[in-house]
Structure 1
Amino acid sequence: MQLYLPIAEVSVNLILLLGLGTLVGMLSGMFGVGGGFLITPLLFFMGIPPAVAVATGANQIVASSVSGVMAHLKRRTVDLRMGVVLLAGGLVGSGFGVWVFNILKEQGQVDLLVRLAYVIFLGVIGGLMFIESVRALRRSKSGGGTRKKRHSHVWVHGLPFKMRFRASGLYISAIPPLMVGAAVGVLAAIMGVGGGFIMVPAMIYLLGMPTKVVIGTSLFQIIFVTAFTTLLHAVTTQTVDIILAVALIVGGVLGAQVGAVIGSKLRAEQLRILLAGLVLAVCFKLALDLFLTPEELFVIAEAG
């Protein structure tokens, strides 16, 4: 069954689209990630224009993050004060990112920017994740080993404008959280991702937050930043396809339940190495597409 997407101006197979949403939902349930860094490039492979894939993919992140943060609020594992500081930086960063996105869209370079950004980030994140997963597997086979210290004070904690974050047990400068939030906001605008794969390690190792409050606080910030980014894209670039968004959300809700069941039956090291392999495979396909000659060298469109 073919479904026409009015904003993307392409027809896609509805079953395939629901399957993609289900797949990413399964990954979310299995690995605890929003899936934005995978769903956007997978939409590229289906023929969705990168500008539409970036702007629309954020909708699914909003939906999955809302359900996740509600559960964390019940367990009181959300640092709302830290979340607000991260959110302030995120809103500024997303506004800047959409501004850059619009300039490159006018110049006709936005597709190249998005693809290059994904190749770089997926390559780095996938590579580091794969190396860490292999080391974890070796440690588990050899009976463990010494545990690294989670956090030590670094130069950023000596910066001014200090605030007390009681839920996290921290008294640090507000500048590092603002910078982390701004960086994630830029990524959300340009790449259509929630940024959790960068924010979570930054919150643990740079800000020194306890792991128990990191996920919930990250989701709290991601909800508002991705929603704001989607709104900006809808108003300024008109690249949000609501039909595509609904299909992805429906599939994602179903897949998340299945993924949670599968994930509970696998070891953490096995889950991470599977995710790393998938990330690297998508990165390789995107990089290959940048060098291969396209089937259509020129596309003729009506002016205006």
Structure 2
Amino acid sequence: MHLYLPIAGLSVNILVIVLLGVGVGVLSGMFGVGGGFLITPMLIFYGVPPAVAVASSATQITGASVSGLLAHTRRKGVDFRMGWVLVAGGAMGSLAGGGVFRVLQQSGQIDTVVGILYVALLGWIGITMASESVTTLVAQKRGTAPAVSPKKHRKLIAALPFRWRFYGAGLYISPLAPFILGFVSGLLTVLMGVSGGFILVPVMIYLFGVSTRVVVGTSLFQGLFVTATTTLVHALTTHAVDLVLAALLLVGSVTGAQIGSNLVQKVRPEVARMILAVIVLFVAIRMALGLTWQPDAIYTVQTL
């Protein structure tokens, strides 16, 4: 069964879009990444215009974040104090990103910029996570103790002033660090249609030293508010939010988030990180090929 998307200007298979939402919801519940890094490229591959894919996926992530956040809150896996600092930075970043998105959209360069951002960021994150996961898995197979990453944050983070205690995360650092991270996350949310979790989770683990017990829930908490702000920004400035598309994705992602939050308790952390790294690298490679392959036609004409 097909349904016409008024803003995207094309007809889509309802079942395909709902199943895509389920897959993204599972990733959200397992890794706290929101799934936008996957759903936006998939929508673009399906034929949805990049601007509409970015704006609509941000709308869908808001609902998925609510579902996953409730599950992690019940397990006391959210540092709300750090979450609010991330939210403040993310809101500022979303407003700044709305202006940048508008300029790129008017100049006709938004498609290219979105593609390049995905290839660069996902490639870096995927390689980093895959390397760390492989090292840990090989060490376990050999029966040796895997190299333990330092729990303490880097010297640059420690040098920032005005330290606060974040009890849930087990940190004593300056709020400027999560605020800046939240700002970057909010900026990327507007430009790429992601929740920012695929940046937040690795940075909070490897750079801040946040306890893995609260990383996913705190990331979802920040993603809920930032994607809601992003949706409002897109609705008021770019007018690229397709509510029909977002609703279809939301139907699947809310269910998928509950499944993912239960699966994360049964999968070994290093295996889960490896799975996420493979998915991230696959999307990055596919986006890179899309930017470099010569199209069959220089341009196309579509009758609306």
What TM-score results when the alignment is normalised by the length of structure 2?
0.89
Q: Deviations over 1:66-88 (max 9, x none)?
A: 12222333344332222222111
Please tell me whether the aligned partners of residues 171 and 210 of structure 2 are also in contact (alpha carbons under 8 angstroms). yes
Please tell me whether the aligned partners of residues 72 and 216 of structure 1 are also in contact (alpha carbons under 8 angstroms). yes
The one-letter amino acid of 1:203's match is: M
Q: What is the DSSP-based 3-state SS (H/G/I as helix, E as strand, rest coil) of the residue aligned with 1:18?
A: helix
The one-letter amino acid of 1:147's match is: V
Give 1:262 deviation, angstroms. Answer: 6.2
Is the alpha carbon distance of 1:15 and 1:221 closer, same or farther for their aligned partners in structure 2, counting shifts above 3 Å? same
Is the alpha carbon distance of 1:39 and 1:214 closer, same or farther for their aligned partners in structure 2, counting shifts above 3 Å? same
Aligned pairs for 1:211-222 within 5 A: 211-222=212-223
The one-letter amino acid of 2:290's match is: D
Q: Deviations over 1:210-244 (max 9, x none)?
A: 33333222221111111101110011011110110
The one-letter amino acid of 1:123's match is: G
Is the alpha carbon distance of 1:12 and 1:102 closer, same or farther for their aligned partners in structure 2, counting shifts above 3 Å? same
Q: What is the DSSP-based 3-state SS (H/G/I as helix, E as strand, rest coil) of the residue aligned with 1:209?
A: coil
Aligned to 1:287: 288
Q: Quote the Cα distance in structure 1 between the aligned partners of 2:60 and 2:144.
A: 38
The one-letter amino acid of 1:22's match is: V
Aligned to 1:46: 46
Q: What is the DSSP-based 3-state SS (H/G/I as helix, E as strand, rest coil) of the residue aligned with 1:3?
A: strand
The one-letter amino acid of 1:135's match is: T
Give 1:177 deviation, angstroms. Answer: 1.6
Q: Deviations over 1:252-285 (max 9, x none)?
A: 2343455567666654444433332222222222
Q: What is the DSSP-based 3-state SS (H/G/I as helix, E as strand, rest coil) of the residue aligned with 2:148?
A: coil
Q: Which moved more, 1:142-151 or 1:193-202?
A: 142-151
Q: What is the DSSP-based 3-state SS (H/G/I as helix, E as strand, rest coil) of the residue aligned with 2:12?
A: strand
Q: What is the DSSP-based 3-state SS (H/G/I as helix, E as strand, rest coil) of the residue aligned with 1:239?
A: coil
Give 1:49 deviation, angstroms. Answer: 0.6
Q: Give unpaired runs (5+ residues) of structure 1.
A: none
Is the alpha carbon distance of 1:291 and 1:240 closer, same or farther for their aligned partners in structure 2, counting shifts above 3 Å? same
- Kindly, what percent of the aligned residue pairs are identical? 51
Please tell me whether the aligned partners of residues 25 and 254 of structure 2 are also in contact (alpha carbons under 8 angstroms). yes
Aligned to 1:185: 186
Q: What is the DSSP-based 3-state SS (H/G/I as helix, E as strand, rest coil) of the residue aligned with 1:44?
A: helix
Q: What is the DSSP-based 3-state SS (H/G/I as helix, E as strand, rest coil) of the residue aligned with 2:210?
A: coil
Q: Quote the Cα distance in structure 1 between the aligned partners of 2:119 and 2:76.
A: 37
Aligned to 1:71: 71
Aligned to 1:252: 253
Give 1:31 deviation, angstroms. Answer: 4.6
Aligned to 2:278: 277
| 2:58 maps to 1:58 | yes
Aligned to 1:233: 234
Is the alpha carbon distance of 1:21 and 1:135 closer, same or farther for their aligned partners in structure 2, counting shifts above 3 Å? same
Aligned to 2:25: 25
Q: Which moved more, 1:36-45 or 1:280-289?
A: 280-289
Give 1:92 deviation, angstroms. Answer: 0.9
Q: Quote the Cα distance in structure 1 between the aligned partners of 2:79 and 2:56.
A: 28
Aligned length: 303
Aligned to 2:113: 113
Q: Quote the Cα distance in structure 1 between the aligned partners of 2:182 and 2:249.
A: 26
Aligned to 1:132: 132
Q: Quote the Cα distance in structure 2 between the aligned partners of 1:246 and 1:109.
A: 28
Please tell me whether the aligned partners of residues 26 and 257 of structure 1 are also in contact (alpha carbons under 8 angstroms). yes
Q: Quote the Cα distance in structure 1 between the aligned partners of 2:279 and 2:169.
A: 33
Please tell me whether the aligned partners of residues 69 and 219 of structure 1 are also in contact (alpha carbons under 8 angstroms). yes
Q: What is the DSSP-based 3-state SS (H/G/I as helix, E as strand, rest coil) of the residue aligned with 2:281?
A: helix
Q: Give unpaired runs (5+ residues) of structure 2.
A: none
Please tell me whether the aligned partners of residues 161 and 174 of structure 2 are also in contact (alpha carbons under 8 angstroms). yes
- Structural RMSD (CA): 2.5
The one-letter amino acid of 1:176's match is: A
